[in-house]
Amino acid sequence: MLYVQEKVVKLGGVYLQGQVTSVEVQEAGSVYVAQDEKGRFKKSQPVGYENAKVMIDILLEDSKDMTTLEQLMGMQQLFKPYGQDKPKLLAIVNEDCAARGITKVYFKSLTSKKVVAESKRIVSLELWAPDIVGIKVKKKAAVQTARQTIKKNKSKKLKSKSPAKDSRDTANGKKAAKKAVK
């Protein structure tokens, strides 16, 4: 018995048509490899993380409501609507993406393949997450308390940027100097 689950991925507020055959989420770290003049490896050093990639394979078959071409045109509208210059950030809802902390993605590529001997089309989507998952931002209250601590620890000493702009009162210092000289 073949178990078919149709509503697996929601992209940009729309459930993707067809049968999702696989969802692959890939994350990787970036490593800089230093080499000497002769091409030998000297050392490697981690420098960050690459964007997460989500690859989705979908099997499209004719249904009562839509043909495979109509289903493909619907995906094309998500990928690149008429008049759009750059990929838009789309919300994604999928259990694999949610488990990895991916909530928004850009379309990287949309590939379709017609199997001539059969009535189906195979569509592959490659999506890229714009943010590196796992980095947590401090809560607003924690940032404010850190700023207040810094303000409390600041010096009370008056500082000016240049002697020409010094506006401190020096009359008392001059009087003390005259008394010391007399």
What's the pLDDT tens digit per position in 109-150?
A: 889 998 888 888 899 999 998 876 554 555 566 666 666 666
Domain residue ranges of the chain, discontinuous segments joined by +: 10-128
Residue range 1-16: average pLDDT?
A: 70
Structure tokens at 107: 């379309």
Nearest partner of 106 among 92, 81, 89, 123, judged by Cα:
89
DSSP letter string over 85-134? -SPPPEEEE-HHHHHTT--EEEEEEEEEEE-TTSS-EEEEEEEE-SS-TT
Nearest partner of 23 among 126, 104, 129, 110, judged by Cα:
126
- At the second CATH level, the architecture of 10-128 is Beta Barrel (2.40)
Nearest partner of 94 among 154, 31, 9, judged by Cα:
9
- Residue 55 pLDDT exceeds 90: yes
Of the pLDDT bands very low, low, confident and very high (cuts 50, 70, 90), residue 28 is confident
